[in-house]
């Protein structure tokens, strides 16, 4: 089964590019850009990865992102992740990036997106990996600040397929951003949002009804609402679940307590993703292996989760068909 997990082609739909910043690269970029960070070794950084909740992670996440200054830094960051995609048999990835994390530090929007997109384009040519880019608003900031960022993003519509919402969830409900997402929809962007990670089901309902999302990022708290479960099954709104992340941030006590198998068995459109893998002990295959080992997942469960990843993606039907046929070919050999 572990061999099958590794060999199956997959899509990843919930991945923060800033969350792929490995300690080695963080130290290298800090030195290259003369940025003072409170760590001098890889071990120092890894010791800091002892999170108690979402906010304790975000504090370190933003500290790490401070080493990203130049276009080449964003290229290096993205390219390192794409090499991990090759290792993990990720053939398509839909990447989140947080421009406000950088523009607030005086880094131009153009610098961020140019470095990322150049790496994505090179990966398509050299590694055969297709990708799409989703820009996220930081929900701890104001809607007014998000409007400014959206206006910058509109200039790069050819590079950005969707708009998302991330960062500190509790106290920053989707309703806070209703108007900026309305404008994003009018501009033709796909819409996704983090909801129901730490906050209750009302955040998922708001994301659906007010933001009109096409995917819910995380969404594991849906288990607490029978009516919402029924709605999500009926509408087949995808949930981009991130098992390692949920354990590291104490959303669940352990992998055995994780509800992804339960959600899948209920008929929800669930996918597996790695979220911020440099911080959460593992890329996509490791997430699959952890839930397989702890939740008694069958071969059918694994295959369903992999198929869901392509069907829930924003790629066209023709490319979906090609990727799903690749899944079938691997299954034939098993």
Where would I find the beta strands (DSSP E) of the chain? 10-16, 90-97, 130-138, 162-166, 190-195, 215-218, 239-241, 270-272
What are residue 187's phi and psi, to 5 degrees?
A: -80, -5
Q: Has residue 334 got a pLDDT over 90?
A: no
Which residues does residue 94 pair with via DSSP β-bridges, in sequence order? 132
Distance CA 247, CA 294 (A): 12
Distance CA 188, CA 47 (A): 43
Q: Has residue 110 got a pLDDT over 90?
A: yes
Joined tokens for residue 157: 């519509």
Give me the number of domains the chain comprises.
1
pTM over 0.85: yes
Would strands 90-97 and 130-138 be described as parallel, antiparallel, or unpaired?
A: parallel
Rg value, the chain, Cα: 19
Tell me the per-residue pLDDT of 303-328, one tens digit each, with 9 for 90 and over: 999 999 999 999 999 999 999 999 99
CATH number of the domain to which 233 belongs: 3.20.20.140
Tell me the per-residue pLDDT of 21-31, one tens digit each, with 9 for 90 and over: 999 999 999 99
Instruction: Give every strand in the sheet of 10-16, ordered side by side.
Output: 10-16, 90-97, 130-138, 162-166, 190-195, 215-218, 239-241, 270-272
Contact at 8 Å (CB) between 195 and 174? yes
pLDDT of residue 262: 98
Alpha helix segments (H runs only) across 13-108: 23-32, 42-48, 54-65, 71-88, 99-103
Q: Once rounded to an integer, what is the mean pLDDT over residues 93-114? A: 97
> Which structural domain range is residue 200 located in?
2-332
Task: List active site positions.
Answer: 197
Tell me the per-residue pLDDT of 188-220, one tens digit each, with 9 for 90 and over: 999 999 999 999 999 999 999 999 999 999 999
């Amino acid at each position: 089964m572990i061999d099958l997990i590794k060999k199956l082609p997959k899509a990843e739909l919930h991945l923060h590019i800033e969350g792929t910043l490995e300690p080695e690269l963080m130290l290298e970029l800090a030195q290259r850009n003369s940025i003072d960070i409170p760590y001098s070794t890889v071990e120092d950084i890894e010791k800091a990865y002892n999170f108690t909740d979402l906010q304790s992670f975000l504090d370190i996440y933003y500290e790490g992102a401070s080493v990203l200054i130049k276009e080449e830094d964003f290229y290096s960051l993205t390219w390192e992740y794409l090499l991990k995609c090759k290792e993990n048999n990720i053939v398509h990835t839909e990447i989140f990036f947080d421009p406000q994390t950088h523009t607030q530090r005086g880094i131009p929007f153009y610098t961020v997106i140019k470095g990322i997109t150049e790496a994505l384009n090179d990966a398509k040519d050299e590694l055969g990996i297709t990708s799409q880019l989703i820009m996220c608003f930081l929900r701890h900031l104001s809607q007014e600040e998000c409007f400014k960022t959206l206006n910058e993003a509109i200039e790069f519509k050819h590079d950005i397929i969707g708009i998302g919402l991330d960062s500190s969830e509790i106290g920053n409900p989707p309703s806070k951003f209703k108007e900026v997402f309305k404008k994003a929809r009018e501009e033709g962007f796909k819409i996704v949002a983090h909801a129901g990670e730490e906050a209750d089901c009302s955040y998922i309902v708001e994301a659906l009804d007010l933001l009109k999302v096409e995917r819910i990022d995380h969404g594991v708290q849906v288990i607490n609402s029978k009516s919402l479960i029924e709605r999500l099954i009926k509408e087949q709104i995808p949930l981009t679940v991130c098992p390692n992340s949920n354990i590291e941030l104490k959303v669940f006590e352990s992998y055995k307590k994780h509800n992804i198998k339960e959600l899948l068995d209920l008929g929800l459109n669930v996918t597996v993703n790695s979220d911020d893998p440099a911080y959460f002990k593992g890329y996509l295959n490791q997430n699959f292996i952890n839930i397989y080992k702890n939740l008694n997942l069958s071969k059918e469960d694994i295959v369903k989760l992999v198929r869901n990843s392509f069907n829930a993606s924003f790629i066209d039907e023709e490319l979906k068909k090609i990727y799903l046929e690749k899944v079938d070919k691997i299954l034939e050999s098993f």
